Homo-oligomer: A and B are copies of this chain.
Amino acid sequence: MIVVLKQNASELKVEELMKRLRGMGLDIHQSRGTHSTILGLVGDTSAVDIDALHALEVVETVKRIQEPYKNANRKFHPDDTVISVGDAKIGGGHFGVIAGPCSVESREQLCSVAADVKKAGASFLRGGAFKPRTSPYAFQGLRGEGIKLLLEAKKETGLPIVTEIMDLSQLFLFEDVDVIQVGARNMQNFEMLKELGRLHKPILLKRGLSSTLQELLMSAEYIMAGGNQQVILCERGIRTFETATRNTLDLSAIPALRQMTHLPIVVDPSHATGHASMVKPMAIAAAAAGADGLMIEVHNDPAHALCDGQQSLTPEQFAETMQAVNAVLPFACR
């Protein structure tokens, strides 16, 4: 961490600051220039509050050099993390596909889709029981009943299930859920992240709508600092000025995160593009760019889906997409 002092900083105040910093176990290297003095802080700066330093009268600016995340940092954990659930694996060379309907609507719908996506090669079943909807007047999900149906579909197909939690008060319902999803709008729901950090099951953490990759990793850090190291990161598109797509899928997040962290990276082309016709090209591109997996919405009757029908693939389209992805995988950039 670099602290740049103001030109006219009083000796006394600077001494006070340096004492405070040394008290935090940091070594200080001082460089005096004509226009400014620079303090280089050496040691573990992850607990140093940048804002607090900025507030000091003698400080002109503060720049962080070391990443503020530790558990998620590849520098300290060079090997890829592999997430295993039953036979399914994601990360470290294992490519995993999570597929299923946006929202669980009925036993028939879910089991039919589950059978179809399994046949096409998916290794996880997804389905929303609790649905975050912008409008209070829109369908809010089957909730507890939805979780029950997911567990039935799991029993029938053997596919481990992935579903979203929206509030900690729902946690007791997730005991038999294999992977708990944290949605984009909850990426910085810090109380929830802390609680999930006490569990012993994988968390699929979606990137916030306008979050940076560092912020995503800081949210993973919240979970990992609690003891739960099983975090799957999910790029699902960020908000930009573009309107031709629902969000903008940031595929450069794959090589960027690959360097920053050892955690597996999954891409969701359905929410990112918002259009079924764009899911296949973006799925192939994500695989080619080196993603560890995909999350894709599949519905047996998109035109009558209760949620996100326009971005859902039919089972046939999904099977076709899987074939195309499998053809590209051997040439993927890893």
Q: A250–B242 contact, CB under 8 A?
A: yes
Q: B287–A288 contact, CB under 8 A?
A: yes
Q: B188–A54 contact, CB under 8 A?
A: no
For chain A, residues 300 to 334, give those with C-beta under 8 angstroms from any C-beta of chain B.
302-303, 305-312, 324, 327-328, 331-333
Which range contains the number of A residues in contact with the other chain? 35 or more
A200 CB within 8 Å of chain B: no
* Sample of 23 A–B contacts (CB below 8 Å): A29-B32, A31-B42, A47-B135, A55-B309, A56-B303, A56-B309, A60-B65, A68-B137, A134-B218, A135-B221, A136-B193, A167-B191, A170-B191, A241-B241, A242-B253, A244-B256, A245-B256, A251-B251, A259-B277, A281-B333, A284-B288, A284-B333, A287-B288
Binary per-residue interface labels of chain A (33-45) against chain B in the complex, 1 for a CB within 8 Å, 0 otherwise = 1111010101100
Q: A302–B55 contact, CB under 8 A?
A: yes
Q: B134–A215 contact, CB under 8 A?
A: yes
A170–B280 Cα distance when bound, in Å, is 43
Closest residue to A63 on the B side, CB-wise? B63
Partner of A52, one of B132, B280, B281, B305: B305
Q: B54–A61 contact, CB under 8 A?
A: no
